[in-house]
């Protein structure tokens, strides 16, 4: 791929979600470094919405300090749900409003892309090759593919995971394929794999369609082990997630070039914040506001946690914390139905200042500060299990009570 010419005063900003898992943070940084290698003459920075440093505003500060006046911001997200459609644009709009000398052009998510499908195919093929080598050949028609998506309160993003599954299914010719999700929506991994195990296939290959490791990937593999223990007659194979596959980096580079070419269009055709999506009509036109300010820049997991940086969210369990002498706070899930009231109402206005480590004042600009920044309603595309209090309004996911959705995890623990 030819390297595009980027002006000296233009920089690239990779915007990630963040994770308590330090290995996930390191992998995200590796992707940013991979982009730097592809743009050796361009300033490239990265930042996170939550749980990791640097936060997005700090990355933008670094670019501005290097003389950058235009930022090409790309979301480090597979699909466009609440984070890519709402939270990141809110942070970028706010920063641009507070720094008039800088222009931020926002790109689109990685999305449904043939390069991403090829990268996924190579991860699956590598797992199949290893399984055939170590356990003997199993015919592709006797194999079921389970693609695990992140899970979102945005049905548009959830449907993208199903499309990835279908393209991989037809690409390989598996006997059958299913989609499940790691959180928020349904079916979750446990119910999804338990259902798949009833279909009579000799092998089930579980592929997390994720960019990086972290709490959720570890949970996916753990759920796989739990279902496999109940079905010794079936061979369960765990494929690797995408990580910094060269084709993933190629796709990031494509997104940067789209911004340069003026073609960076976020998918709004089926966005639940703009159109009346069946079952989500009440969320059209909700105000744009990032809900991550309360955990922005607080860092990852506890320093003295037994996980040693490879967090699996055990520190969110009260008994685990008691056993290891760690602080514990109750879990708060965005997926759970709840009245539209803040957990703690501090009567904040939109110009409020949050006392986080980065020291930035986060107001909220509800207008378009640049043509590429989209003004979407407030939505959530994952369930937070960080246990921090919230001071914002959020809309409940209408299917949180689904028997194979988020409440099934709560029932299993009780």
Q: What's the rounded mean pLDDT across residues 258-269?
A: 73
Residue 211: pLDDT band with limits 50, 70, 90: very high
List pLDDT tens digits, range 365-402.
333 333 344 333 333 333 333 333 334 445 677 777 78
Give residue 81's region: left, alpha or beta (phi > 0; psi -120 to 50).
Answer: beta
Predicted confidence (pLDDT) at residue 294 exceeds the cutoff of 90:
no
pLDDT reported for residue 9: 97
List pLDDT tens digits, range 274-290.
455 566 566 665 555 54
DSSP structural state of residue 109 = -
Predicted confidence (pLDDT) at residue 307 exceeds the cutoff of 80:
no
pLDDT reported for residue 409: 61
With CA atoms as reference, report the closest residue to 92 among 412, 322, 371, 408. Answer: 371
What domains lie within the chain, and their CATH numbers? 10-110+247-413 (3.40.50.1400), 114-238 (3.40.50.1400)
Lowest mean pLDDT among 35-39, 127-131, 327-331: 327-331
pLDDT reported for residue 212: 87
Give the separation between CA 321 and CA 108, rounded to whole angstroms: 40
CA angle 159, 165, 169 (to 5 degrees): 145
**Strands 235-238, 203-208: pairing kind:** parallel
pLDDT reported for residue 29: 87
Q: What's the rounded mean pLDDT across residues 41-58?
A: 91
- Of the two residues 217 and 275, the one the predictor is more confident about is 217
Give residue 274's region: left, alpha or beta (phi > 0; psi -120 to 50).
Answer: alpha
Asked if residue 54 has a cis previous peptide bond (ω within 30° of 0), the answer is yes
Q: What's the rounded mean pLDDT across residues 89-106?
A: 93
For 351, the token pair is 């110009």
Instruction: Tell me what the pLDDT averaged over the chain comes to.
Output: 77
Threshold 0.75, pTM exceeds: no
DSSP structural state of residue 334 = T
Q: What's the rounded mean pLDDT across residues 27-35?
A: 87
Predicted confidence (pLDDT) at residue 204 exceeds the cutoff of 50:
yes
pLDDT reported for residue 122: 98
pLDDT reported for residue 157: 87
- Of the two residues 257 and 79, the one the predictor is more confident about is 257
Lowest mean pLDDT among 20-24, 103-107, 224-228: 20-24
């Amino acid at each position: 791929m030819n390297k595009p010419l980027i002006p000296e005063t233009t920089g690239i900003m990779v915007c990630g979600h963040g994770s308590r898992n330090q290995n996930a943070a390191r992998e995200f940084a590796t992707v940013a470094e991979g982009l730097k290698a592809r743009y050796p003459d361009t300033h490239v920075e990265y930042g996170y919405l939550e749980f990791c440093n640097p936060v997005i505003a700090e990355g933008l500060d670094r670019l501005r300090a290097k003389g950058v006046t235009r930022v090409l911001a790309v979301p480090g997200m597979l699909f466009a749900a609440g984070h890519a459609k709402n939270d990141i644009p809110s942070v970028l709009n706010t920063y641009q409003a507070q720094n008039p000398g800088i222009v931020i052009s926002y790109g689109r998510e990685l999305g449904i892309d043939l390069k991403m499908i090829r990268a996924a195919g190579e991860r699956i093929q590598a797992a199949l090759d290893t399984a055939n080598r170590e356990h003997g050949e199993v015919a592709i028609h006797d194999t079921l593919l389970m693609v695990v998506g992140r899970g979102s309160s945005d049905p548009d993003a959830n449907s993208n995971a199903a499309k990835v599954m279908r393209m991989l299914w037809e690409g390989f010719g598996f006997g059958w394929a299913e989609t499940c999700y790691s959180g928020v929506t349904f079916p979750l991994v446990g119910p999804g794999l338990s259902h798949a195990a009833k279909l009579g296939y000799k092998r089930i290959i579980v592929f997390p369609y994720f960019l990086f490791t972290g709490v959720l990937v570890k949970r996916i593999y753990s759920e796989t082990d739990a279902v496999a223990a109940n079905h010794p007659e079936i061979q369960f194979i765990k494929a690797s997630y995408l990580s910094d596959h060269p084709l993933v980096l190629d796709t990031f580079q494509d997104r940067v070039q789209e911004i340069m070419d003026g073609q960076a269009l976020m998918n709004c055709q089926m966005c639940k914040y703009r159109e009346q999506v069946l079952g989500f009509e009440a969320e059209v036109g909700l105000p744009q506001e990032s809900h991550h300010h309360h955990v922005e820049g607080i860092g990852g997991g506890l320093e003295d946690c037994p996980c040693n940086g490879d967090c699996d969210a055990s520190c969110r369990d009260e008994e685990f914390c008691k056993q290891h002498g760690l602080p514990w706070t109750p879990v708060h899930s965005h997926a759970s139905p709840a009245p539209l009231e803040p957990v703690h109402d501090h009567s904040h206005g939109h110009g409020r200042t949050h006392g986080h480590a980065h020291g930035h004042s986060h107001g909220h600009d509800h207008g378009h500060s640049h043509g590429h920044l989209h003004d979407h309603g407030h939505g959530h595309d994952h369930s937070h299990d960080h246990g921090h209090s919230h001071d914002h309004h959020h809309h409940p996911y209408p299917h949180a009570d689904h028997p194979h959705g988020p409440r099934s995890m709560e029932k299993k623990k009780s």
